[in-house]
Amino acid sequence: MTDPSSNTTSSSLPLDARSWGYAEDFVRPDERIRDARNQAVELGIETISNGTVAALRFLARMVQAKAVVEIGTGSGVSGLALYEGMGSEGIITSIDPQSDRQATARKEFTDAGIRSNRIRLIAGTPLDVLPKLRDGAYDLVFINGDKLEYVEYVAQALRLLRHGGVVVLHDALWQNKVADPDNEDDETVIIREALAAVEQTEEFTSLLLPVGDGLLAAIKA
């Protein structure tokens, strides 16, 4: 007989690497996203996983996003994923302090046939740019910038999102460090504080997904 007080049952065993990999690759990215990821690898730019691509596309479509803010352009992979979920009428405002990366992303967007008026690339410090964006005007905010600024990004996301909008934090489990209570690295501590800020904000209902390097999603009431 199974002890009802026990949490260790056959249905609650932790996923092994094979199952995690199966879930990550369950939804295969299309050719243009694969090309963008390959380009990022060649340039030494860190990019998001297949599972994260699928999650971003899903969330953008779920909230019927038409206006998205992306903090951290990277090589354009996340922008392509978000755009696929948004559809041809959506507009992404993507902020990154590194203009060379945005040049790479711009080429990927052009090669994918996305019109230039649908992707607004802003080369600048996110904490300088975000306060200039309009309150309550956005459906989704994707946070993938400087880890040491995550708490400030969360505060800006709360202001920028409409009711029913979603904030998404990339690297929420940060190299398996966030779950390690003994790890006090600066980035790890700040990410924990950002997660706590989301969880403690009454307007947010949150979910932590073990895809990629961790993805926190929270919907604003």
- Please indicate, yes or no, if residue 139 is contained in any of the structural domains: yes
- Please indicate, yes or no, if residue 6 is contained in any of the structural domains: no
- Crossing angle of helices 150-160/186-199, nearest 10°? 30
- Please indicate, yes or no, if residue 196 is contained in any of the structural domains: yes
- Please indicate, yes or no, if residue 39 is contained in any of the structural domains: yes
Domain count along the chain: 1
Average pLDDT over residues 168-197: 97
| Helices and strands in the chain: count of H runs, count of E runs | 8, 7
pTM assigned to the model: 0.92
User: CA angle 78-74-35, nearest 5°?
Assistant: 65
Question: Which pLDDT does position 87 carry in this prediction?
Answer: 79
- Please indicate, yes or no, if residue 92 is contained in any of the structural domains: yes
Residue 187 neighbours by CB under 8 Å, 6+ apart: 147, 148, 174, 177
- Please indicate, yes or no, if residue 102 is contained in any of the structural domains: yes
Cα–Cα distance measured from residue 109 to residue 106, given in angstroms and rounded to the nearest whole number: 5
Write the pLDDT tens digit of every residue in 8-52: 444 578 888 899 899 888 988 888 888 888 888 887 888 899 999
Question: Which pLDDT does position 101 carry in this prediction?
Answer: 85
Q: Show the domain range for 157.
A: 16-220
Mean pLDDT across the chain: 91
CATH number for 72: 3.40.50.150
Question: Which pLDDT does position 68 carry in this prediction?
Answer: 98
Question: Which pLDDT does position 11 carry in this prediction?
Answer: 59
Contact 29, 37 (CB under 8 A): yes
- Please indicate, yes or no, if residue 11 is contained in any of the structural domains: no
Which stretch of 57-61, 98-102, 204-208, 211-215 has the lowest confidence by average pLDDT? 98-102
- Please indicate, yes or no, if residue 3 is contained in any of the structural domains: no
